Chains A and B, each alone.
Chain A
Amino acid sequence: DQQVKQNSPSLSVQEGRISILNCDYTNSMFDYFLWYKKYPAEGPTFLISISSIKDKNEDGRFTVFLNKSAKHLSLHIVPSQPGDSAVYFCAASASRGTNAGKSTFGDGTTLTVKP
């Protein structure tokens, strides 16, 4: 049973447009969500996060939205740039319970931004 799902394996957008990456989760114990970006042959790097007490967090061109009732979060990148082309992983963590501190990752979405 996959607790964190990224249903779109890939996404292609034009430079300057908005990229929207989606993530769904099933475990109601998750209360902290993160997005990581990964270039080939490198480890993932942290991009942006959101706590379950918020529904939006913005950092420059990146905004993460959280809909707790739908157990859904999304990452918006605007405007998209060719350098944003990478694999984006959604991750969810719980601060309490037996799995506290452990992150569960989705399978990733490969974003391609075309010049």
Chain B
Amino acid sequence: GAGVSQSPSNKVTEKGKDVELRCDPISGHTALYWYRQSLGQGLEFLIYFQGNSAPDKSGLPSDRFSAERTGGSVSTLTIQRTQQEDSAVYLCASRRAGFFNEQYFGPGTRLTVT
């Protein structure tokens, strides 16, 4: 079946512009995660959606970052007034219900802020 998809695959934007990154999780997966991987770094947790519960936003680095998940499926990560330090690969992952299951990752969106 189809895996997690993300769009765009690459995004170059000017400093100060807003960007939207999209994630289509695997159908039926109740949990959805966003991570960021800066060059040479590990996976930095950003936000976690679980079913209809309030999202865990504890990893969002500033109030310029926000995310929503509509209808329990597609998610959009929005970065307002982008800064050069926002340049990174943004990864989305989804997981079946049940905490003892693995996450399935998308290919990521490479964001470059010039």
Contact = CB atoms under 8 A, between A and B. Distances in A.
A108 B56 contact: no
B99 to A, nearest CB: 4
Contacts of A34: 102-103
How big is chain A's contact interface, by range? Answer: 20 to 34
Interface residues of B, number: 23
A101 B103 CA distance: 10
Contacts of B108: 42-43
Interface of B: 4, 31, 33, 35, 41-43, 45, 48, 50, 56, 91, 93, 95, 99-100, 102-108
22 contacts: A32-B99, A34-B102, A34-B103, A36-B102, A36-B105, A43-B93, A43-B105, A44-B43, A44-B91, A44-B105, A46-B102, A46-B104, A49-B102, A101-B31, A101-B48, A101-B95, A101-B99, A102-B33, A103-B103, A104-B45, A105-B45, A108-B42
Interface of A: 6, 32, 34, 36, 41-46, 49, 51, 89, 93-95, 99-108
